[in-house]
Structure 1
């Protein structure tokens, strides 16, 4: 297969857990026959076995550590130590051996070939569901440039971030994204976040089947679950997991267990590690997962329930929990 060595997908892993996400992301890109190079930026806390697995999946694994570096990032870091992970992510702009890159957070999953993103220009991204005049920085197109990198560091050190992370920095720097050029607005199917399933259910019904990238936003990530490889079912690990659609979670875990787990076993050898995969006789059906134990909500009329949905007040832990909504959505995702 032809490989374009001038363009690359880039991700970032700062811990072993996020390294798992990066492994699955890389495999999903490979499985959908990308013609681009794959680059993983990693932080110093990623273990050597995890780095070794990443090297088998990615064309390049590059260690970036702004805390110990003597470059401009280190100088900016002195003023803004709270933005450590953000500075690490900005290292993507130093990949000047590539003419164009697409950054993808390690908690994303590719569902089909997305090489067409490289036809877009910097900075192209999808709107954030929480504030659509801002873009979500989980997936974006950019052009590596040392000049841009320096300007981003200056923005970091002088102004900080309005949300405490890279998304605030990037939206401040590329401040005309919302108004300047509509071609830089990626369709939401390139960064479908779990929150969209619940805040605008009719749109998810209409367009969800066309999703190309799923973004597991929120505190709870796919690797926070456990997966029964025998029954191909999941078990939730947290009460905060109710906003993830189980079909997407199963896709993540099936790819992890079929393509990543064996690589991890090779590299870890006799060293213990937590895979999250089990083989047991206890079958926990995804549709029957009860992650929280809240009392049943009082009965309300269909009109009252509709009004709550329209105002973004769905009862995520009760009547509108994902195990109830999942039954309605399955027919649209088949």
Structure 2
């Protein structure tokens, strides 16, 4: 059985760490590594990504023989233990340039030797995008051509926010998705969730938001599994120290949640559902899931 871990670079944030420790087996404090490469980061229009070099610390976890790294903006939909059968460095192609792997999910072997080599490589040659992905793709430069077994299927790193999306393929294979990655600057926690309607508010019609159903799924998970932990922590802290943990919750999540929800709203009309299908926006994780469609077909066949 695999264990879950999370690395935290938050300093003097003991309250946040205590909450994380209720979810993860270990929480480890690490120092921030920043490329400071403003020129290359400008090409991405993502100046904040310089600190993603912090993930290099994961190679220091030598108490484990093999690990799977996952960015904080990924969401696991089903068991992925089979990834531990892969070797370093296994990753899925990046949707923007498939000859590069996306570094949001990858299989690797912790090694102090590799960690030191990565630091030296970063110092001497830098990163072509100013962030970790450019550095890792150059360091593991044989990924694209040498061993196709190290190419993870896209279902392990499905982009939910891509300018280009192959919707026919998503219709065919989307129900098999195991990991969703909220690529880009539009993160789930930048939106507001209305628990009365169980939907995300804001500009979800942005063309970059190809699969808005994943935003709702992320928020559903947060409100059901994470928010209660934060609220309990708030109560505990107020009872013992008088600290208002609402500020901590805000700092951790940058999210807002409305009042408890009443009964769910009626489902959409058949006409609206048909229109969404024609626009490639079917609810593949809900009413239009593969299992539900199969049940409907089976009922007709019988």
TM class by shorter-chain length? Answer: 0.7 to 0.9
The count of residues paired between Structure 1 and Structure 2 equals 257
Residues 1:120 and 1:46: Cα distance change in structure 2 (over 3 Å) = farther
Ranges in structure 2 where 5+ consecutive residues have no aligned partner: 38-48, 236-243, 269-275, 293-302
- 1:153-192 alignment to 2 at 5 Å? 153-192=119-158
Residues 1:111 and 1:46: Cα distance change in structure 2 (over 3 Å) = farther
Aligned 8 A contact 2:36 2:130 in 1: no
User: In the aligned structure 2, how far is the partner of 1:81 from the partner of 1:93?
Assistant: 21
What's the offset of the Cα at 1:243? 1.4
Aligned 8 A contact 1:224 1:237 in 2: no
Aligned 8 A contact 1:235 1:286 in 2: no
What's the offset of the Cα at 1:52? 1.4
User: Quick check: 1:63 aligned with 2:37?
Assistant: no
User: In the aligned structure 1, how far is the partner of 2:224 from the partner of 2:110?
Assistant: 34
User: In the aligned structure 2, how far is the partner of 1:218 from the partner of 1:234?
Assistant: 18
Aligned 8 A contact 2:50 2:130 in 1: no
User: In the aligned structure 1, how far is the partner of 2:278 from the partner of 2:211?
Assistant: 9
User: In the aligned structure 2, how far is the partner of 1:284 from the partner of 1:139?
Assistant: 36
- State the match for 1:326 in structure 2: 281
- State the match for 2:241 in structure 1: none
Three-state SS of the structure 2 residue aligned to 1:132 is strand
User: Quick check: 1:129 aligned with 2:103?
Assistant: no
Q: Give the aligned CA root-mean-square deviation in angstroms.
A: 3.1
Aligned 8 A contact 2:158 2:179 in 1: yes
What's the offset of the Cα at 1:131? 0.6
Three-state SS of the structure 2 residue aligned to 1:326 is coil
- State the match for 1:271 in structure 2: 245
Three-state SS of the structure 1 residue aligned to 2:53 is helix
TM-score by length of 2: 0.76
Three-state SS of the structure 1 residue aligned to 2:104 is strand
Ranges in structure 1 where 5+ consecutive residues have no aligned partner: 1-34, 68-76, 288-320
Q: Deviations over 1:296-326 (max 9, x none)?
A: xxxxxxxxxxxxxxxxxxxxxxxxx999542
- 1:1-334 alignment to 2 at 5 Å? 35-44=1-10, 47-66=13-32, 80-82=35-37, 85-195=51-161, 198-236=164-202, 242-269=208-235, 270-272=244-246, 273-274=249-250, 275-279=255-259, 324-327=279-282, 331=288
TM-score by length of 1: 0.69
Q: Deviations over 1:49-69 (max 9, x none)?
A: 2211111111110110146xx
What's the offset of the Cα at 1:246? 2.2
Residues 1:112 and 1:278: Cα distance change in structure 2 (over 3 Å) = same
Three-state SS of the structure 1 residue aligned to 2:22 is helix
Q: Deviations over 1:48-99 (max 9, x none)?
A: 32211111111110110146xxxxxxxxx7xx54485233110000000000
User: In the aligned structure 1, how far is the partner of 2:12 from the partner of 2:50?
Assistant: 15
User: In the aligned structure 2, how far is the partner of 1:54 from the partner of 1:328?
Assistant: 31
- State the match for 1:3 in structure 2: none
User: In the aligned structure 2, how far is the partner of 1:286 from the partner of 1:192?
Assistant: 27
User: In the aligned structure 2, how far is the partner of 1:81 from the partner of 1:120?
Assistant: 33
Residues 1:84 and 1:64: Cα distance change in structure 2 (over 3 Å) = farther
Runs of 4+ in 1 over 6 A off after TM superposition: 280-287
What's the offset of the Cα at 1:254? 0.9
Aligned 8 A contact 2:71 2:104 in 1: yes
User: In the aligned structure 2, how far is the partner of 1:284 from the partner of 1:165?
Assistant: 43
Residues 1:167 and 1:238: Cα distance change in structure 2 (over 3 Å) = same
